[in-house]
Amino acid sequence: MKPLRRVPLLALLAVTSCGIPATGVVEAGGPASGSLPLTQVYFVENGALVATPRNTERPGEPEAALVLLMAGPLTGEGRVGGLSTEVPGVPTAAALPTATAEAPGTPSSDAPTVTVKGDRMTIRLPPGMGKLSDIGVRQVICTAAAAYRLTRPSVGALTAEVAYGAGQRVTGSDEGCPDR
């Protein structure tokens, strides 16, 4: 009877002494999840800018956030008064940057583009976009800056130039953006 009692003990010793060293918890990034990262898109509610979280497949890319802004608020989004926008939608069907036959990897001219050098951001909206109101310009600047900061949280205030329409240019800062 005694030899049978030793079999489980011997099996346990064989498994635990296989030569693999014990380790502690290994950190390998954040937990897996099925939800997309969020970016802040700025809409208007009762005459003021409101940061509205939106899912994005391209966190940290201002162009993707601007496409979400130009798509407008979703039905039922916002508080009692609802959200609105002073930024017109994309004037053509091509909303997201895509490669063109002439320039693979280059965004189409119908997509917004954003370049950043130091603390200066240049935002070029698609051709054909009409005049923007002051609050519309603020929506664009705050949305692009918030998206840029998503993957660069230590970036300070940004000065942005918004180019749109037939050569119109407006300069502003993201310092007064809500939830900054």
pTM above 0.75, yes or no: no
Of 7-16, 78-87, 128-137, 143-152, the poorest mean pLDDT is in: 7-16
pLDDT at 93: 43
pLDDT at residue 107 above 90? no
Given a cut of 60, whether residue 70 has pLDDT beyond it is yes
pLDDT, mean of residues 23-41: 66
- What are 56's two structure tokens? 């994005």
The mean per-residue pLDDT over the stretch 83-105 comes to 58
Query: Residue 16: what pLDDT?
Result: 52
Unique residue bearing structure tokens 């997309």:
36
Please say whether the dihedral angle defined by the alpha carbons of residues 162, 93, 149 and 132, taken in this order, is positive or negative. Answer: positive
Tell me: pLDDT of 3 over 80.
no
Q: What is the pLDDT of residue 67?
A: 94
Residue 57 confidence (pLDDT) above 50? yes
Mean pLDDT lowest for which of 73-77, 135-139, 150-154, 164-168? 73-77
Structure tokens at 26: 């290994």
Q: Averaged over 30-49, what is the pLDDT?
A: 81
Q: Is residue 100's pLDDT more than 60? A: no
Give the model's confidence band at 22: pLDDT under 50 very low, under 70 low, under 90 confident, else very high.
low
pLDDT at site 24: 55
What mean pLDDT is reported for the chain?
Answer: 79
The pLDDT assigned to 129 comes to: 82
Per-residue HEC secondary structure of the chain comes to CHHHHHHHHHHHHHHHCCCCCCCCCCCCCCCCCCCCCEEEEEEEECCEEEEEEEECCCCCCHHHHHHHHHHCCCCCCCCCCCCECCCCCCCCCCCCCCCCCCCCCCCCCCCCEEEEECCEEEEECCCCCCCCCHHHHHHHHHHHHHHHHHCCCCCCCCEEEEEECCCEEEEEECCCCCCC
pLDDT of residue 21: 55
Portion of the chain with pLDDT greater than 90, in percent: 48
